[in-house]
A = this chain, B = another copy of it.
Amino acid sequence: MQSLLELRHLKTLQALHDAGSLVRAAQLLNLTQSALSHQLKVLEDQYGAALFERKSMPLRFTAPGERLLALAAQVLPAVDAAERDISRQVQGVTGSLRIAVECHTCFDWLMPAMDIFRPRWPEVELDIVSGFHADPVGLIHQKRADVAIVSEYDATEAVDFHPLFQYEIVAIVANDSALASRSFVTAQDFAGQTLISYPVPDEMLDIMRQVLTPAGIKPARRSTELTVAMLQLVASGRGLAALPLWAVQNYLERKYVSAVKIGEQGLFGKLYATCNAETSQRPFLADFVSMTRESCFLTLPGITLL
């Protein structure tokens, strides 16, 4: 009759709370839904009570569930903090995390992630390498950045890749556009149109790299730095855009513009954090990566962890 509660269970409970469903919690924890279901069953047997209501959306916890959740909220950060302290004691953490970014929308999730990171590793100098660089990996080699957020996995590069997440890129069209009612658009649909985009080179846009350039289509480009401005242009019929679904979800719900899948399978953008081998070793790098994945998964709608 002794307690078989482990930190694992508390992590599961907290993930369930944060993620809102077993399926999503399982993704967060890199486990299967089945594993979590079994885990919770064991706990519920142990305490002789249900921990949460299965069929309620949003998820609701019972009193014992809430109590364990409170325990998790108290214990897990303490465990985290202790492990960071030990990293410091053992390795003496010093260093910097200068992040190079190649995509504009990245800022939307990078800022919150950095805000979480800062208090966790106060001794690490945290920075964004400003400006948009055609070759962020080059910045790492030049020691001008410690990490780069990139959208292509390239095994030939002499750097480590840490997968972050994947998101769908959708075509944004005016509500009254002929394309708005299509189930998906193809490269041909972009021919003769104006592509509204961020002011970056072709090869840094997934829509160009993955779809239009391979099809030999080179639409006119019009660019702006602000996502809202792009949507405004689309809404007023000046062209069409291709943006991460998570970045425009709000506007879609308000029916400001319409989104259409790109290609029959959809178009997906992937993000990786790259750094050199030395940086990979540092405990704060692993923490940065896992923390970013987690915070993105919880805040960006519709993304999938890689």
State the A residues within 8 Å of B (CB).
1-3, 5-8, 47-49, 63-64, 67-68, 70-71, 74-75, 78-79, 82-83, 85-86, 89-91, 286, 290
**Contact between B79 and A64, CB atoms less than 8 A apart:** no
User: What's the dominant secondary structure at chain A's contact region?
Assistant: helix
Task: Find the B residue at minimum CB distance from A8.
Answer: B6
Asked if A89 and B63 make an inter-chain contact with CB atoms under 8 angstroms apart, the answer reads: yes
Contact in complex: A78, B71 (CB < 8 Å):
yes
Copies of this protein chain in the complex: 2
Chain B residues with Cβ below 8 Å from A49 are 86, 89-90
Chain B residues, CB < 8 A from A70 = 82
Residue among B3, B68, B83, B85 making CB contact with A5, cutoff 8 Å: B83
Give chain B nearest CB distance to A274 CB in angstroms.
17
Contact between A286 and B7, CB atoms less than 8 A apart? no
Contact A47 B86, beta carbon cutoff 8 Å = yes
Chain B residues whose CB sits within 8 angstroms of the CB of A67 once the complex forms: 82, 85-86, 89
Nearest 5 A/B pairs, CB to CB: A71-B82, A64-B86, A49-B90, A6-B6, A63-B89
Cα A234 to Cα B70 in complex, Å, equals 58
Q: Is B8's CB under 8 angstroms from A286's CB?
A: no
Considering only CB atoms, which chain B residue lies closest to A286 in the complex?
B1
User: Among the listed B47, B78, B90, B286, which residue makes an inter-chain contact with A64, where contact means beta carbons less than 8 Å apart?
Assistant: B90
> Are A5 and B5 in contact (CB-based, < 8 A)?
no
* A79, B47: Cα distance in complex, Å: 14
Cross-chain contact B74 with A78 (CB below 8 angstroms): yes
Bound-state CA distance A278–B78 (Å) is: 38
A-B contact pairs, 15 of them (CB 8 A): A3-B83, A5-B79, A6-B7, A6-B8, A49-B89, A49-B90, A64-B86, A64-B89, A64-B90, A67-B85, A68-B82, A70-B82, A71-B82, A75-B78, A75-B79
